[in-house]
């Protein structure tokens, strides 16, 4: 008999099984989720890349049916629509509607799009009141201005342009959505009697990249571009190379670069952007590009889209070199002030922190100008344990096979609450565990991850924590101790600096790595003393908690 014939048909522990892909398909989730559920013990592995049918059935009937998973699986079905049918219906409606109905049809069309489609395509039409404010910044003769909204949606910027005196024959509007284009054309016709040939269905990014938009013809582009629209990797690489966008490849940044490429020298580009554009690392190339031009205005609009949590802010630049005297109008939700454009230039990552008033910006610029180090390259960083299922693993009583674990909320400035959460000692159970040597370091700093305050704890007890807290282990390449660094990061001045520069509720490593650490002064201190540090900086704290340069006192 050959070897093959001696083998049993099935091995002894053979059980009916399904491939990971099949399980993912049945549960309407990604294969990564299936792998996670294997790790967290919900599903059992059969052979390589296969799941036992028994565990799949038990999971589907007993767990997926009762936990959030079902919601997730069902969400993609409930939150969808037949787009072709919807477009056909609206094109038909438009062809028979009377001219007074166009704006109402635009609102209905946007409402008929499912949220998942709107998010995927970046479709949120700008309220008229917001679109109108952009035009207040144009100082050139308006009558001959050629205005373009390169992703015009239902035409709210085009209509605002008409209200500000721009002639309908000088309007250009593009969009990839034929219904949106038709609504815009008809609204312009309704308002002016002019049926424009310049409102057309095209992909602005592609056309601008291929020089198909007549460069130098357009004076002004104001728009709300699609935010976070999905693009393929090839598209991202192509647009990034063409427009020289560096790492800023989100569609909102790509539209900014493309708009700057097609607008005349001396013209205006103004975009309504997600809040992240103004401070997050991936958009820094776009911010640096903006600072090469004259930064006219930055405006905070809060949360103008009822179904979106993301905040929106506008940036308006004039395509001309800034001068030393360039002053930027900064409108927050409650105040308005002017900031010298140069005050944004030296911010870490060219962050446009325009909520920060000019006196505070002076302190920030001063702290950045004094010789300093940063944590970049001087520390090792780690996240907390990701258990994969906190409610399954976390117990609130200690036992022999469990160990204490801290959450972000257990960390206070310089203190750790008594442990109230315990997880099994067997770390192989968890979805993600950072290298143990980080947890076991002789000294480390643990900090809260979701917080508007810097909350650091100096840990000498090799404590473990889960993913609402992170850790940092200082190398000996910075001439200060971990304890002193901890007290510095918890100090009032550092917290004030962090809030005023980064304007965020997440304590990110990339932000911490930008903080100025004034080692020239700190290396001579045995312990951190805030009063002495402020004296070194030449900064004083006002009664209202804000800081200002001492020399302003004299
Ligand atoms: C956030 S909406 C804003 C619409 C309009 N600018 C406004 O402010 O009301 C973005 C629009 O961009 C369009 N769009 C997405 N990708 C596009 C592209 N590559 N070229 C042109 N338009 C695009 C979408 O169809 C959508 O109408």
Domain holding 456: CATH number?
3.90.220.10
> Tell me, what CATH number does 266's domain have?
3.40.50.150
The tens digit of pLDDT for each residue in 269-309 reads 999 999 999 999 999 999 999 999 999 999 999 999 988 88
Residue 64: predicted pLDDT: 60
For the cut 80, the answer to whether the pLDDT of residue 94 exceeds it is yes
Query: Ligand 1 in contact with 393 (CB < 6 A)?
Result: no
pLDDT at 77 > cutoff 70? no
Residues 440, 321 within the same domain: no
My answer on whether 436 and 291 are in the same domain is: no
Average pLDDT in the 235-262 region?
Answer: 96
303 assigned to some structural domain: yes
Is residue 321 situated within a structural domain?
A: yes
pLDDT tens digits, 324-361: 889 999 999 999 999 999 999 989 999 999 999 999 99
> Within a domain: residue 517?
yes
What confidence tier does 32 reach under pLDDT thresholds 50, 70, 90?
confident
In a domain, 241, yes or no: yes
* Residue 7 clears pLDDT 60, i.e. is over it: no
Sheet containing 379-383, strands listed edge to edge, beginning at the edge strand earlier in sequence: 379-383, 469-474, 444-448, 456-459
CA 304 / ligand 1 centre spacing (Å): 17
Ligand 1 within 6 A of CB of 274 = no
Give residue 80 CA to ligand 1 midpoint distance, Å: 19
Q: Greater confidence, 37 or 152?
A: 152
- Host domain of residue 541: 379-553
Question: Is 361 inside a domain boundary?
Answer: no
Alpha carbon of 127 to ligand 1 centroid (Å): 14
Best probe residue, ligand 1, of 86, 87, 175 (max atoms within 8 Å of C-beta)? 175
For ligand 1, whether the C-beta of 119 sits within 6 Å is no
Average pLDDT of the chain to the nearest whole number: 90
Ligand 1 centroid, distance to 126 Cα (angstroms) = 10
Distance 227 CA to ligand 1 centre (A): 9
Atom from ligand 1 closest to the CA of residue 151: 22
User: Cα dihedral sign for 165, 169, 175, 180?
Assistant: positive
Q: Is 364 a domain residue?
A: no
In angstroms, what is the span from residue 90 Cα to ligand 1's centroid?
Answer: 17
Give the ligand 1 atom nearest the CA of 174.
21
Residue 361: helix, strand or coil by DSSP?
helix
Is 372 a domain residue? no
Q: What is the pLDDT averaged over residues 174-179?
A: 96
Residues 92 and 61 reside in one and the same domain: no
Q: Which DSSP string corresponds to 513-538? A: TTS-B-HHHHTT-SS--HHHHHHHHT
Q: Which of 115, 130, 153 to mutate to test the pocket of ligand 1 (most atoms within 8 A of CB)?
A: 153
**Predicted confidence band of residue 11 (pLDDT cuts 50, 70, 90):** very low
On whether both 184 and 73 belong to a single domain, the answer is: no
Looking at the fold, whether 57 and 110 belong to one and the same domain comes out as: no
Ligand 1 atom 2 nearest Cα: 123
Ligand 1 geometric centre to CA of 341 (Å): 29
Residue 135 sits at φ, ψ, to 5 deg, of -70, -20
Cα–Cα distances in Å, from 290 out to 140, 258, 317, 360? 20, 12, 7, 22
Would residue 374 be called left, alpha or beta, if left means φ above 0 and alpha means ψ between -120 and 50 degrees? beta
Do 310 and 195 share a structural domain?
yes
Question: Are 456 and 384 members of one domain?
Answer: yes
| Number of domain units in the chain | 3
DSSP 288: H
Residue ID of nearest Cα to ligand 1 atom 4: 153
Q: Are residues 223 and 326 in the same domain?
A: yes
Last residue of one domain, picked from the residues 50, 78, 106: 78
Residue 39 shares a structural domain with residue 103: no
**33 in a domain, yes or no?**
yes
Tracing tokens 């109402």 back to the chain, one arrives at 104
- Maximum separation of any 2 CA atoms in the chain, in Å: 102
Which one, of 158, 99, 170, lies nearest residue 126 by Cα? 158
Task: For residue 207, report the distance from its CA to the centre of ligand 1, in Å.
Answer: 14
| Mutation to probe ligand 1, out of 86, 118, 122 (largest number of atoms < 8 A from CB) | 122
Kindly give the number of the ligand 1 atom that is closest to the alpha carbon of 203: 20
Q: Atom 18 in ligand 1: which residue has the minimum CA distance?
A: 203
Distance 273 CA to ligand 1 centre (A): 13
């Amino acid at each position: 008999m050959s070897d093959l014939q001696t083998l049993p048909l099935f091995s002894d522990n053979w059980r009916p099984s399904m491939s990971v892909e099949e399980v993912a398909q049945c549960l309407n989730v990604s294969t990564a989720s299936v792998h996670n559920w294997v790790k967290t013990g919900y599903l059992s592995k059969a052979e390589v890349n296969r799941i036992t049918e028994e565990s799949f059935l038990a999971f589907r009937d007993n767990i997926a049916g009762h936990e959030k998973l079902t919601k997730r699986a069902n969400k993609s079905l409930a939150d969808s629509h037949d787009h072709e049918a919807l477009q056909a219906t609206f094109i038909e409606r438009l062809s028979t509607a009377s001219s007074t109905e166009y704006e109402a049809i635009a609102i209905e069309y946007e409402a008929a799009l499912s949220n998942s489609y709107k998010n995927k395509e970046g479709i949120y039409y700008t309220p008229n009141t917001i679109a109108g404010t952009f035009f207040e910044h144009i100082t050139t003769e308006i009558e001959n201005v050629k205005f373009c909204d390169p992703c015009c949606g239902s035409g709210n910027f085009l209509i605002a342009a008409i209200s500000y005196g721009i002639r309908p024959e000088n309007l250009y509007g593009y969009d990839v959505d034929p219904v949106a284009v038709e609504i815009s054309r008809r609204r312009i016709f309704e308002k002016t009697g002019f049926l424009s040939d310049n409102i057309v269905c095209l992909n602005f990014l592609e056309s601008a990249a291929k020089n198909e938009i007549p460069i130098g013809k357009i004076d002004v582009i104001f728009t709300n571009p699609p935010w976070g629209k999905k693009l393929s990797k090839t598209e991202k690489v192509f647009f990034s190379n063409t427009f020289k966008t560096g790492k800023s490849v989100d569609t909102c940044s790509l539209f900014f670069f493309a708009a700057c490429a097609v607008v005349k020298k001396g013209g205006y580009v103004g975009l309504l952007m997600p809040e992240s554009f103004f401070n997050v690392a991936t958009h820094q190339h776009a911010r640096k590009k903006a600072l090469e031009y004259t930064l006219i205005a930055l405006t905070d609009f809060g949360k103008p889209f009822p179904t979106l949590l993301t905040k929106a802010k506008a940036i308006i630049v004039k395509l001309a070199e800034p001068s030393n005297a360039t002053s930027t109008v900064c409108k927050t939700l409650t105040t308005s002030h002017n900031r010298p454009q140069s005050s944004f230039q030296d911010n870490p990552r060219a962050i446009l922190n325009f909520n920060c008033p000019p006196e505070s910006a002076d302190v920030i610029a001063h702290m950045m100008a004094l010789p300093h180090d940063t944590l970049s390259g001087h520390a090792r960083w780690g996240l907390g344990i990701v258990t994969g299922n906190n409610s399954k693993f976390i117990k609130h009583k200690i036992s022999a096979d469990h160990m204490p674990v801290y959450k972000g909320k257990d960390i206070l400035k310089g203190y750790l609450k008594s442990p109230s959460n315990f997880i099994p000692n067997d770390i192989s159970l968890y979805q993600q565990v950072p290298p143990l040597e980080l947890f076991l370091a002789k000294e480390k700093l643990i900090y809260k991850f979701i917080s508007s305050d810097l909350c650091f704890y100096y840990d000498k007890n090799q404590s473990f924590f889960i993913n609402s807290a992170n850790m940092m282990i200082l190398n000996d390449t910075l001439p200060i101790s971990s304890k002193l660094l901890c007290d510095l990061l918890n100090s009032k001045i550092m917290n004030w600096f962090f809030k005023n520069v980064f304007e965020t509720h997440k304590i990110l490593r990339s932000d911490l790595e930008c903080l100025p650490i004034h080692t020239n002064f700190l290396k001579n201190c045995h312990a951190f003393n805030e009063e002495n540090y402020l004296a070194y900086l030449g900064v004083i704290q006002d009664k209202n908690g804000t800081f200002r340069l001492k020399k302003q006192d004299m």
